[in-house]
Amino acid sequence: MGKLLTLLSDGAFHSGRELGEQLGISRSAVWKQIQRLETLGVEVYSVKGRGYRIPSGLDLLDQERFSQALSPEARGRLEQLVFEREVSSTNVLALEALKSGARNGLFAAEYQSQGRGRRGREWVSPYAANLCFSLAWRFSAGLAALEGLSLSVGLALREGLQRLGVDDVQLKWPNDLLSQGRKLGGILVEISGDAAGECEVVIGVGINVSMPAAQLEQIGQPCIDVAGLVSGHPGRNVLLATLVESLLQTLDRFECQGFAVMKDQWQQANAHRDAPVRLISGSHEVEGICRGVDDRGALLLESDGRLQAYYGGEISVRAQA
Non-local CB neighbours of 161 within 8 Å, separated by 6+ positions: 169, 177, 184, 207, 226, 242, 243
- Residue 306 annotated as lining a ligand binding site: no
Which of the residues 183, 236, 263, 291 is marked catalytic?
A: 183
Burial 291-318 (b: 16+ CB within 10 A, else e): bbbbeebbbbbeeeeeeeebebeebbbe
- Residue 116 annotated as lining a ligand binding site: yes
Which of the residues 32, 119, 163, 318 is marked catalytic?
A: 318
Say whether 75 is catalytic: no
Say whether 36 is catalytic: no
Non-local CB neighbours of 315 within 8 Å, separated by 6+ positions: 279, 280, 281, 299
On whether the CB atoms of residues 245 and 279 are closer than 8 A, the answer is no
- Residue 263 annotated as lining a ligand binding site: no
What is the chain's length?
321
Say whether 118 is catalytic: yes
- Which backbone phi and psi does 250 adopt, to 5 degrees? -70, -40
- Residue 278 annotated as lining a ligand binding site: no
On whether the CB atoms of residues 89 and 66 are closer than 8 A, the answer is no
On whether the CB atoms of residues 87 and 125 are closer than 8 A, the answer is no
- Residue 6 annotated as lining a ligand binding site: no
On whether the CB atoms of residues 239 and 229 are closer than 8 A, the answer is no
- Residue 118 annotated as lining a ligand binding site: yes
- Residue 117 annotated as lining a ligand binding site: yes
- Residue 112 annotated as lining a ligand binding site: yes
Non-local CB neighbours of 300 within 8 Å, separated by 6+ positions: 290, 291, 292, 293, 294, 307, 308, 309, 310
The amino acid at residue 271 is A
Which of the residues 118, 158, 263, 291 is marked catalytic?
A: 118
Report the binding-site residues.
89-91, 112, 116-118, 183
Report the binding-site residues for biotin.
89-91, 112, 116-118, 183
As annotated, the active-site residues are: 118, 183, 318
